[in-house]
């Protein structure tokens, strides 16, 4: 008490000093964050132009010759990864959107369990999931004779497990703020349940659907753990191909592939941004 | 105007809705004539919106029946009922233009393109939105969105139009205009309509008849003057217009729970617990000890509100009453300062007494009713 009375000037000065400190702290955090995010990216681009067989620092010179080497070494893996990602996106939208709509719109028994099950795969370590799926597919193969392991179909099915949670999650979120009355209005105007979904619910979910497709694509395209068990000669995804390559070589080609992958996904984001404002989608 | 095909009549028979143990709507019976506008009025949670949603088909009734033109529609899903609904939030389709919104119901009915075009244009003209056909809902004001919602609901020639709190999202200034416009559209189109609202002035402005609901039960059905002049329960008396409600015991005189003695203007065939309802504008303030004094009171507050002069007075039993008199003109009420001792007077026809079960008490004999002249002499 007596201190407060004795030092009015200090009381005035304190908020200003703490405000300055706070601002410094915030900017330091922002700068640290940016460094953590961008340094690896910049470094990867930098490494990809080293004219070295082994990555050594500082390099003796620079070259762009690693880039033309991507296609012969990783071309087929990139194609497989793209096919896989597109298949996983299509499949998870087909299954995940109806699930998301059902979860947010209807009441049914065991809704909580269904919701948890659909989101659970995100909580299981990828490698454990990969092993489990591999064993499961082998069992199916033995029982039916369908060649699932080492096939694109097998890969797509396994990736659905990790892409679906994103789709379900985002479609539930996308409907959270949607006015249910719009659906009732459509019904009162003569639209049956399916037409209500097609004409009103899905259009309202457009940003969520695009975000879901995006997340599913990136999740699938970058996945290593599941694919590790399911690839076969000729059916190898890009992350697995990179890993295999790294076992024998540590040269800038890997950095060049990484840059190519960044450009691919970055380009995809730019294209999408033309159709929807991504800032609004991933709120 | 070609709004309605043939206005339909609506009957609700013993309509109830239970959510678990909670009874949201209890045994509602109502006949709505073709071309009639009914307002369901009550505080939130009284069951009015639940009733509306059952009629629209969004909620299944627990028991009872809903008949359109004498035929039950309980078995029909919402999209087969031909009932137009205007929602509180308007519920326009955000990705469709105004014209596409209005056209939606016509497309569902597979109306021919040129006929639909003509119908959409007609509807937009009707709600005065001719130039707005290609706009998106988010680029419209609240009042304009409201009109689109009405045009969309009426475009399908509905057998019945339901409006759920239609004004609640509009500015106060716009509400009166919109209420009038809806009323004109409904009358000229001969549309059977049911409006849900909690706003009694809105209800009074729009209704042919009003239904006052409370706790899922219909308290009273009637025209504006029925409800205002002959409220069936203390709740209706206080909900329609305003009433001072005094609980107490009725014997020779009426003694409030607080202990204030009130000389009622009439005698009633009831005794025991009772409730006295009297409107603020029916009470006059007189000098203490005047012959017609019904109760003694002390002025707590006097507020001049322009057309109205309002006093808050406290009875000897501690109950507070509101008294309203004319603020200006030849009948202007006199102002009384805070703390002034006054007498309150009113005439027998202004007095409503309800018995123990909240039913109106029957009048046995009226005391001589004061004349208007005598009234005014007190005010001066």
pLDDT digits (tens, 9 = 90+) for A180-211: 899 999 999 999 999 999 999 999 888 889 88
Task: Identify the band that residue B2 occupies on the pLDDT scale cut at 50, 70 and 90.
Answer: very low
Q: What is the pLDDT of residue A185?
A: 95
Are B91 and A184 within 8 A, CB to CB?
A: yes
Looking at residue B135, what is its pLDDT? 94
Residue by residue, DSSP assigns B106-143 as HHHTT--HHHHHHHHHHHHHHTT-GGGTT--GGGS-HH
Residue of B nearest to A184 (CA): B58
What is the per-residue pLDDT across B271-282, written as a single tens digit (0 to 9) for each?
Answer: 889 999 999 999
Question: Is residue B207 very low, low, confident or very high in pLDDT (cuts 50, 70, 90)?
Answer: very high
**HSE toward the beta carbon, residue A215, CA cutoff 13 A:** 23
Q: Say whether A185 and B87 touch across the interface (CB within 8 A).
A: yes
Indicate the residue of A179, A189, A192 with minimum beta-carbon distance to B104: A189
Distance CA A44, CA A254 (A): 9
* Cβ pair B295, B286 in contact under 8 A: no
The two structure tokens encoding residue A271: 């294209």
φ/ψ bin of A249: left (φ > 0), alpha (ψ from -120 to 50), beta (otherwise):
beta
Average pLDDT over residues B354-375: 68
Strand-pair category, B320-326 with B10-19: unpaired
Task: Look at residue A234 and tell me whether its pLDDT is greater than 90.
Answer: no
Contact state of A179 with B153 under an 8 Å Cβ cutoff? no
CB-neighbour burial class of residue B315 (10 A; exposed 0-12, middle 13-18, buried 19+): buried
Is the pTM of the predicted complex or chain greater than 0.90?
Answer: no
Query: What residue in A sits closest to B79 (Cα-Cα)?
Result: A190
Instruction: Give the helix ranges, DSSP H, for chain B.
Output: 48-56, 98-108, 113-126, 142-155, 172-189, 200-206, 224-229, 234-239, 372-379
User: Could you report the per-residue pLDDT of A60-108, keeping only the tens digit for each?
Assistant: 888 888 888 888 888 888 899 999 999 999 999 999 999 999 988 888 8
Q: Counting one residue from A and one from B, how many pairs have CB atoms under 8 Å apart? A: 68
ipTM of the complex: 0.81
Q: Collect all residues of chain B within an 8 Å Cβ-Cβ radius of residue A203.
A: 93, 95
Q: Determine the average pLDDT of the residues in A256-269.
A: 87
Q: With a CB-CB cutoff of 8 Å, which residues 78-117 of chain B face chain A? A: 78-85, 87-89, 91-95, 104-105, 108-109
**For residue B334, how many other CB atoms are within 10 A of its CB?**
15
* CB atoms B78 and A192 under 8 Å: no
Q: How far, in Å, CA of A141 to CA of A135, rounded?
A: 10
Predicted local confidence at residue A180, as pLDDT? 87
Give mean pLDDT, residues B31-42.
95
* Cα atoms found within 13 Å of the Cα of residue A182, Cβ hemisphere only: 22
Residue pair A239/A223 in contact (Cβ under 8 Å)? The answer is: yes
For residue B179, the model assigns a pLDDT of: 87
pLDDT for B331: 78
Distance CA B229, CA B25 (A): 26
pLDDT digits 0-9 by tens, B242-295: 899 999 999 878 999 988 989 998 888 888 899 999 999 999 998 888 888 899
| pLDDT bucket at A278, cuts 50 / 70 / 90 | low
| Least Cα separation, residue B218 to chain A (angstroms) | 26
pLDDT tens sequence across B164-202 = 998 888 888 888 888 888 899 899 889 999 999 998 888
Give the mean pLDDT of A26-47. Answer: 91
Suggest the residue from A188, A206, A207 to mutate for an interface test with chain B (most B CBs closer than 10 A). Answer: A188
Write down the mean pLDDT value for chain B.
89
- What does the pLDDT read at residue B379? 38
In the predicted structure, residue B367 carries a pLDDT above the cut 80? no
């Amino acid at each position: 008490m007596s201190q407060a009375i004795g030092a009015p000037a200090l009381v005035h000065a304190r908020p200003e000093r703490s405000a300055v400190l706070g601002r410094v702290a915030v900017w330091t955090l922002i700068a640290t964050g940016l460094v953590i995010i961008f340094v690896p990216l910049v470094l990867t681009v930098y490494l990809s132009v080293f004219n070295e067989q082994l990555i050594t620092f500082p390099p003796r010179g620079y070259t762009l010759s690693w880039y033309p080497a991507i296609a012969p070494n990783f071309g087929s893996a990139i194609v497989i990864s793209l096919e896989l990602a597109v298949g996983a996106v299509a499949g998870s939208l087909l299954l995940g959107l109806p699930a998301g709509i059902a979860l947010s719109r209807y009441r049914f028994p065991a809704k909580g369990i269904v919701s948890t099950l659909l989101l659970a795969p995100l909580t299981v370590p990828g490698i454990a999931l990969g092993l489990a799926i591999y064993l499961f597919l082998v069992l199916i193969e033995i029982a039916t004779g369908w060649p699932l392991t080492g096939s694109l179909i097998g890969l797509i099915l396994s990736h659905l497990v990790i892409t679906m949670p994103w789709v379900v999650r985002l479609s539930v979120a996308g409907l959270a703020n949607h006015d249910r009355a719009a659906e009732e209005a459509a019904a009162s105007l003569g639209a049956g349940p399916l037409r209500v979904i097609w004409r009103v619910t899905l259009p309202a979910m457009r940003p969520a659907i695009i975000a879901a497709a995006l997340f599913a694509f990136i999740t699938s395209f970058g996945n290593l753990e599941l694919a590790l068990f399911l690839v076969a000669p000729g059916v190898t995804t890009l992350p697995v191909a990179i890993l295999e390559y790294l076992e024998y070589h540590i040269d800038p080609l890997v950095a060049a592939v990484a840059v190519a992958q960044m450009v691919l996904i970055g380009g995809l984001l730019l294209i999408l941004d033309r159709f929807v404002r991504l800032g609004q989608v991933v709120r | 105007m070609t709004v309605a095909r043939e206005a339909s009549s609506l009957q609700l028979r013993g309509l109830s809705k239970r959510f678990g143990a909670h009874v949201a709507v209890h045994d509602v019976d109502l006949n709505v004539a073709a071309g009639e506008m009914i307002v369901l009025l009550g505080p939130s949670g009284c069951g009015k919106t639940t009733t509306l949603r059952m009629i629209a088909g969004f909620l299944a009734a627990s028991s009872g029946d809903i008949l359109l033109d004498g035929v039950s529609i309980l078995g029909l899903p919402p999209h087969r009922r031909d009932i137009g609904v205007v929602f509180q939030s308007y519920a326009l389709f955000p990705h469709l233009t105004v014209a596409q919104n209005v056209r939606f119901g016509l497309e569902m009915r597979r109306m021919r393109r040129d006929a639909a075009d003509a119908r959409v244009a007609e509807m937009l003209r009707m709600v005065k939105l001719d130039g707005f056909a290609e706009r998106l809902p988010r680029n419209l004001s609240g009042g304009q969105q409201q009109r689109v919602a009405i045009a969309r609901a009426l475009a399908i020639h509905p057998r019945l139009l339901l409006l759920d709190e239609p004004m609640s999202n509009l500015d106060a200034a716009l509400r009166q205009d919109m209420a009038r416009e809806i009323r004109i559209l409904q009358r000229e189109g001969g549309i059977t309509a049911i409006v849900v609202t909690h706003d009694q002035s809105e209800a009074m402005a729009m209704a042919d008849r009003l239904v006052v609901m409370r706790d899922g039960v219909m308290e009273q059905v009637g025209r504006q003057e029925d409800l205002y002049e002959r409220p069936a329960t203390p709740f209706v008396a206080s909900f329609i217009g305003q009433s001072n409600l005094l609980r107490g015991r009725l014997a020779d005189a009426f003694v409030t729970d607080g202990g204030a003695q009130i000389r009622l203007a009439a005698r009633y065939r009831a005794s025991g617990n009772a409730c006295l309802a009297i409107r603020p504008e029916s009470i006059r303030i007189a000098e203490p000890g005047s012959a017609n004094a019904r109760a003694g009171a002390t002025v707590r507050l006097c507020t001049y509100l322009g057309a109205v002069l309002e006093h808050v007075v406290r009875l000897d039993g501690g109950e507070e009453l509101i008294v309203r008199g004319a603020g200006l003109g030849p009948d202007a009420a006199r102002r009384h300062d805070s703390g002034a001792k006054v007498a309150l007077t009113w005439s027998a026809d202004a007095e409503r007494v309800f018995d123990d079960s909240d039913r109106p008490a029957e009048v046995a004999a009226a005391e001589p009713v004061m004349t208007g002249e005598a009234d005014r002499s007190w005010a001066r």
